Every structure is written in structure tokens, then in C-alpha cells.
Amino acid sequence: MQTTSFSQYNIPSIAWVSPPPTTTILHHKITSSGRLSRVLAVASLTATPSRHQVTHSMPPEKLEIFKNLESWVSESILPLRKPVQNCWQPIEFLPDPSQGPDEFEQEVRDLRQRVLGLSDEYFVLLVGNMLTEDALPTYQTVFNTFDGVRDETGSSPCPWAIWTRSWSAEENRHGDLLRTYLYLSGRVDMLMIEKTLQYSIGAGADIGAENNPYMGFVYTSFQERATFLTHGNMAKLAKEGGDPVLARICGTIAADEKRHEKAYTRIIEKLLEVDPNTTMLAIGNMMKKRIRMPLHLMYDGQDPNIFEHFSAISERQGVYTSRDYAEMLDFFITRWELEKLEGLTSEARRAQDFVCGLPCKVRKLENRAKKLESRPVKFSWIFNKQVGV
């Protein structure tokens, strides 16, 4: 099989309209091979070794907008939560140890039999998805850096904070379920997976949101849709591989992600209504930076390029691809009616033109991309077996 590598591409910048924000320099590792998976390259469009890490870029006067939206959040966002009594729980999909040792052991044997038809590549992707879900402390930390919507006390009654805690509580089940299923499968090296998780939570995440809720909610809209698509495609592969239970697990998680996507998409819709210029600039800024998987700093203690290798397999297996990224752009441009926005400032119009032209650019880059042959890479998560990237 072949995959695609992109060289660097320069994308027009979006003008900054507020006072110069505080910046630091954040250094990113470069792959030793210099290769990027197609989805990484297309999603980023540029591959920069370092960049300014901007903080607190939202002008202080914008805080009042989010304060005024609290009642709207209560009416339009909080109802998207599911009551705990109506939520599924991981044990419902797993062998139940309370039914006795013989029955429990048989259910574990059945689980192990079902996963025999799934490839090593599939398990690499399942581990990567589990780690992404399980790094929840990082995401809660990032959310609580957003000015105007953070949880100031840890149990704040502010509707923005209530949503964040509820979202985290629902998301927490995803990693718990996938990790336990992987553990029982016997197909993966749990020691290396647990080390990867510890390394990765320690590394944190740089989503480029600048403590700015406008940009943060753009990011979460895209990220929730990406995880919805990813888990949905994993469900299809599990079903084809002969594990209907795992297919149901991935499909159930995908449904949660879709509901969460709806919340964040609705927030951006509202921000476009009340503050179209700032919101359009935020969308343009995030598209210029690129939407990256939150666990892009993952590390297993052995492979410094493990995220790039994981992403290449995702592209090859059709789980999350450059085509998905282009289609997501089309989806949000249509959903937010970005092409129809009128009365924008000149800077916001430039951002509008940039974002609305991105899907075409992404597809052109994909078509021009140089094809590369697969090469074997060892993954510690599957006992250092080799898979093609």
C-alpha cells in the first residue's frame, strides 16, 4: 500500500486586530524521517518546528459577552447533557465479575475469541483512541484555561462550568471502557500503554486556543466531530472483523461524541450571532494553525514519532483521513453559514475568504501529494510487532 507525504505549504495569515498578546516559544519535535502522514499534513498545511505560544489573546471587554450568555447556556446547552440514570456505563459492555468465576471466565474467553479476527493495525488504532479518551485530566485542565468560561472554584454554579464538568463526566466513561476491553483482550502490552498515558498526560496538550474561548470552542467543535467519525469508522472495522460487541462499544462512544459536537457547534453558532467579527477571526485563526488531535504530544518512552506513526496507520485504515478533514471543513462552513456572513470588518472578511476556500485547497494538496511506499514500524503497544505506516 501507499501513503502520502506533504512538503511544507504556506497559507495566508489572518490579521490580528487586538493588542499584541503575551507569547512564549513552544518547540515541537520533527520526525526523524521527515515524513508526515497525509491527514497530519493536510490538517496542518504547514509543518513548523516551533511557533509562538500565545496566551490570553481575548480582549478583556469580551468577557461580558460570555457572562451575558450564561442564561442561554442554561437553556440551550445544559439540556444536551444526559442524566446519569439514563447514561450507559462501561460494565454493561464487559464481562461481569459479579456473576461467578466460571461465567466471568467464559465471557473473557469469548471476548478473546472475538478479537482474533482484528488486525494488529486495528489494535494500534484502538489503543491510540483509548489514550486520547483517557487523557481527560489534560482536557479538563485546558478547558479551565479559557477566559470567561472556566470553573473558578472546581464546583462553580456557573453554567459554563457545569457544562464542562458534565462533559468530562460523560467522556470519562469512554476511556474506562476501551481500556478495560483492551486489557481483557490479551492483544496489547498494557505496561507500555500505561506508560504512554503517563508520559502523555505529563506532556499536556497545545491546542493553540490562547486561553480564548472563541478559539477553544472552534477547536472542540472540530475535535468532537473528528472523534465521532473516528469511533464510527472503528465500529465498522470491528463489525467486519467479527467483534459485534466492540462494534457496539465504538458506535455508542461515537453517539456521545456526536451529541457533544452538537453542543460546541451550537455555541459557535451563537457567538457568530452576537459577535460575528471576533468569531470569524477565531475560526480563521484556528484553521490557519490547524486542528490537531489533543494527544499530539503522546510518547511511549521509545518512539519519539509515535503520534505521526499512529496517524499514518489511521490514514491507511480509513479511520480518519485527509478526505474526512476536507469534509469536516465543508460541514462547518455550511452549518455555520460562513459564506453568508455579511457586514464583517475587512480583517474578518479575509478570514471568511480564507476559511471558505480551505476545502478546495486541502483537496488540491491531497491530489498533488507524493505517494510513498509503506514501511514497517514497531509499536510498543502491541509487543513491538511491526505494522506498515
**CA gyration radius for the chain?**
21
- What integer is the mean pLDDT of 326-332? 97
User: What's the rounded Cα separation, in Å, for the pair 382 and 389?
Assistant: 15
pTM: 0.88
Q: Per-residue confidence at 214, pLDDT binned at 50, 70, 90? A: very high
Say which of 55, 70, 88, 206 is annotated catalytic: 88
**Is the predicted pLDDT of residue 225 greater than 50, yes or no?**
yes
User: Catalytic: 174?
Assistant: yes
Q: Which of the pair, 26 or 13, is modelled with greater confidence? A: 26
The x, y and z cell numbers of residue 60, run together, are: 478583556
Question: What pLDDT band is residue 334 in, cutting at 50, 70 and 90?
Answer: very high
Catalytically annotated residue among 170, 171, 243, 303: 171
In this predicted model, which residue has the larger pLDDT, 371 or 176?
Answer: 176
**Would the pLDDT of 45 be above 70?**
no
pLDDT score of 292: 87
> Average pLDDT in the 314-337 region?
96
71 torsion bin: left (phi>0), alpha (psi -120 to 50), beta (else)? alpha
Instruction: List Cβ neighbours of 198 (8 Å cut-off, separation of 6 or more).
Output: none
Q: Provide the pLDDT for residue 290.
A: 87
Closest CA to 282 of 138, 151, 147: 147
Q: Residue 173 corresponds to which cell in the numbers above?
A: 466513561
User: What is the pLDDT at residue 17?
Assistant: 34
pLDDT reading at 90 higher than 70? yes
pLDDT of residue 51: 54
Active site residue 171: yes
Which of 257, 303, 308, 324 is catalytic? The answer is 257
Average pLDDT, the chain: 89
> What confidence score (pLDDT) does residue 43 get?
41
pLDDT at 46 over 60: no
pLDDT digits (tens, 9 = 90+) for 231-280: 999 999 999 999 999 999 999 999 999 999 999 999 999 999 999 999 99
In this model, does residue 132 exceed pLDDT 80? yes
Is 35 a residue whose pLDDT tops 90?
no
Q: At what angle are helices 190-203 and 159-185 packed, to 10 degrees? A: 160
Catalytic residue among 256, 308, 324, 366: 256
Give the residue ranges of DSSP H helices in the chain. Answer: 38-44, 63-68, 70-76, 101-114, 120-134, 136-143, 159-185, 190-203, 213-240, 244-274, 276-289, 306-317, 322-335, 346-368
| Per-residue pLDDT at 366 | 82
Q: Has 256 been annotated as catalytic? A: yes
| Greater model confidence, 48 or 379 | 379
Average pLDDT of the segment spanning 298-314: 97
- Which position among 147, 174, 220, 308 bears the catalytic label? 174
- In the annotation, is 327 catalytic? no
Q: For residues 368 and 38, is the Cβ–Cβ distance under 8 A?
A: no
120 has pLDDT over 90: yes
Of 170, 210, 224, 300, which residue is the catalytic one?
224
Please tell me the least confidently modeled range out of 15-19, 146-150, 163-167.
Answer: 15-19
Q: Which of the two residues, 1 and 343, has the higher pLDDT score?
A: 343
pLDDT of 16 higher than 50: no
**C-alpha 168 chain-centroid distance:** 14
Q: What is the mean pLDDT of residues 316-342?
A: 96
